[in-house]
Structure 1
Amino acid sequence: MKKKIVLAGGTGFIGQYLEDKFTATGYEVKIISRQPQHIAWSNQAGIISALDGAEMLINLAGKSVNCRYNDKNKEEIISSRTKTTQILGNALLACGSPPPLWINSSTATIYRHAEDRPMTEENGEIGTGFSVDVAKAWEQSLFDYQLPRTRQVALRMSIVLGAEGGVMEPYFNLVRFGLGGVQGDGNQMFSWIHIEDVYRAILFLQERTDLKGAFNVSAPHPVSNREFMKQLRKTMNRKLGLPAQKWMLEIGAVFMKTETELILKSRWVLPERLEKDGFQFTFDTLEKALQQIILKKQAIS
């Protein structure tokens, strides 16, 4: 019988990467999503059937935060995370043979704006504001479930970098058009992780049956926004990069229907638990990550 994993909300940049990786290693990948070819969120029997006998559940579901934070979008951002997590928790309780591991996405934005020191799982300070409220509600909806046969892990993910999509394309465009300078004062920290290391961290957590709880999924060497843009210009061989001051970003965010917090919040996060437990990053430095991404983009373009 073929090995099976379940990807919930698995149609985005990260989900597609994971689907390709797990399929290539012999897994049958069941996807729960709003798209018609997959298991619907309303199909409880189908979700229970998919989870029964699976090795792992990975939940990535949630409305993108790349939007204006009006009341309607705020409600959708929170409910799309908590309600889907609750649907999965209830389905696991109904399973005859539930997966031994449930990995639920979370976000490194749970920590406060930090320019003074890095945030770890043990010593990080939880922040305030809407995006933090989302992260707290998301994790609570996971850990509210008492599941004796299933380990629960929350991935506090930093900004995921990869050639196939995600945040890289907008940054590439800024650099291409000579606008790849600092954003704001450039001192805000940029915690990141290469998508291959997201996949490898999931495999690591699957193997380590003694591990549970929240994990910072972030490369061990975060950089400032200034350093990130400098490295990106260097990798793309572009010398000129005009800066974007805060007031310019505020105006641009309105036109682009997004929020400046996504660029200006200082996320300074270290993967203390993963490293203490022996995980080793393939892309531990930004230089390595950007070189691989640029080369891969050139190969597929």
Structure 2
Amino acid sequence: MERLKLLLAGGNGFLGQHLAHYFTRLGYEVVILGRSAKPGTVRWNGRTLGPWAAELEGAAVLINLAGRSVDCRYNAVNRYAITRSRTESTRVLAEAVAACRNPPAVWLNSSTATIYQHTEDEQPANTEATGQLGRTFSEMVAQQWEAEFNLVALPHTRRVALRTAIVLGADGGALPVMARLARLGLSTPQGHGRQWVSWLHIQDFCRAVEFLVARPQLEGAFNLCAPEPLPNAALMALFDAHYHPRWHLPQPRWLLKIGAFVLRTETELILKSRKVMPQRLLEAGFQFRFPDCQTALADLLPQLP
């Protein structure tokens, strides 16, 4: 029996490698599009059509994770690169899909839960139906990304935008860095600590993607996050309870700004309040294995070195 093909654009990172392993175990033939000549990777530049486009012909699933990291200073050069890497890769994939005689049945394209505006303490969580889209740089990038995704008419390909929150895993992403800092005493609230954190266990991320692939009636934007966001102070308390550091170092906003400047990153990554709910996933019947952060961290933190 011929295996279904899944094409994974930008698949050499943390999320991509987990999806590749997950869908390989499900029996898919996984083909990765990447910028480097790694074994098992088909090269592309994320901007122009090339021989890689032939891989789309007859594929069952296309997943696009391509995009420059936002862990940098938001100067003019980096802003341009962040935006271009997302919109250009999405545009050229749309061109390739449109040219297929037998296009992929479903295309899942990365987006971000950062698309929603900063959500204060008691404001309701952002759902796909009622969420308030923001106007800052990061929020506008996400909106441009999704606009590019929906621009070209693709009548034979179902499209799903993945508005993904912070994905927690033991072998990549933000969690190992957060845990290392917590061990050193930075398990205190960041800033005032009231900003909301939306998150998702890596297992539930992969399971949610599989869930969306398998249900042809589901399309449009989906929030990929656990159903229980929590304030930053509560998240840091979970790290503190696990590591019991010998001392506790305060993290006021002014100190975080200095640290972000030194590390060449932005405080938005930890100070923006992201209060997001996966309403459409829940309504469709998806069941989370890790609905609360305490359970997720109890699973993941012991796996860290």
Bin the TM-score by the shorter chain: over 0.9
Tell me which moved more, 221-230 or 141-150.
141-150
**Map of 2:83 onto structure 1:** 78
**Map of 1:218 onto structure 2:** 225
CA distance in 2 between partners of 1:165 and 1:241 (Å): 25
Give the CA deviation at 1:237: 4.0
CA distance in 2 between partners of 1:202 and 1:145 (Å): 23
CA distance in 1 between partners of 2:94 and 2:159 (Å): 10
**Map of 2:115 onto structure 1:** 110
**Map of 2:149 onto structure 1:** 142
CA distance in 1 between partners of 2:239 and 2:204 (Å): 19
Contact 2:44–2:50 (8 Å) recurs in 1: no
Amino acid in the other structure paired with 1:69? Y
Aligned identity (percent) is 46
CA distance in 1 between partners of 2:43 and 2:5 (Å): 18
Pair 1:261–1:201, CA change in 2 (3 A): same
Amino acid in the other structure paired with 2:234? E
CA distance in 2 between partners of 1:292 and 1:24 (Å): 21
**Map of 1:259 onto structure 2:** 266
CA distance in 1 between partners of 2:56 and 2:241 (Å): 46
Give the CA deviation at 1:40: 2.4
Write out aligned runs for 1:143-158 (5 A).
Answer: 143-158=150-165
CA distance in 2 between partners of 1:142 and 1:8 (Å): 14
CA distance in 1 between partners of 2:26 and 2:245 (Å): 38
Write out aligned runs for 1:1-301 (5 A).
Answer: 1-37=2-38, 38-42=41-45, 44-115=49-120, 116-238=123-245, 240-297=247-304, 301=305
Residue segments in structure 2 that go unaligned for 5+ positions in a row = none
CA distance in 1 between partners of 2:221 and 2:93 (Å): 18
CA distance in 1 between partners of 2:50 and 2:136 (Å): 37
Amino acid in the other structure paired with 1:125? Q
Tell me which moved more, 232-241 or 73-82.
232-241
Contact 1:56–1:102 (8 Å) recurs in 2: yes
Amino acid in the other structure paired with 1:21? Y
1:101-127 CA distances to partner (integer Å, 9 max, x unpaired)? 000000011101002221111111001
Tell me which moved more, 148-157 or 20-29.
20-29
1:122-153 CA distances to partner (integer Å, 9 max, x unpaired)? 11100111001110010001011211110010
Give the CA deviation at 1:236: 3.0
CA distance in 2 between partners of 1:236 and 1:11 (Å): 31
Residue segments in structure 1 that go unaligned for 5+ positions in a row = none
Contact 1:108–1:216 (8 Å) recurs in 2: yes
CA distance in 1 between partners of 2:193 and 2:124 (Å): 16
Instruction: Calculate the TM-score normalised by the size of structure 2.
Output: 0.95
SS at match of 2:281: helix
Amino acid in the other structure paired with 2:43? A
CA distance in 1 between partners of 2:195 and 2:78 (Å): 26
Instruction: Calculate the TM-score normalised by the size of structure 1.
Output: 0.96
1:266-298 CA distances to partner (integer Å, 9 max, x unpaired)? 00000011101111111101011101112332x
Contact 1:189–1:225 (8 Å) recurs in 2: yes
Give the CA deviation at 1:195: 1.1
CA distance in 1 between partners of 2:297 and 2:173 (Å): 14
Tell me which moved more, 24-33 or 200-209.
24-33
CA distance in 1 between partners of 2:50 and 2:100 (Å): 10
CA distance in 2 between partners of 1:98 and 1:164 (Å): 34
Give the CA deviation at 1:210: 0.5
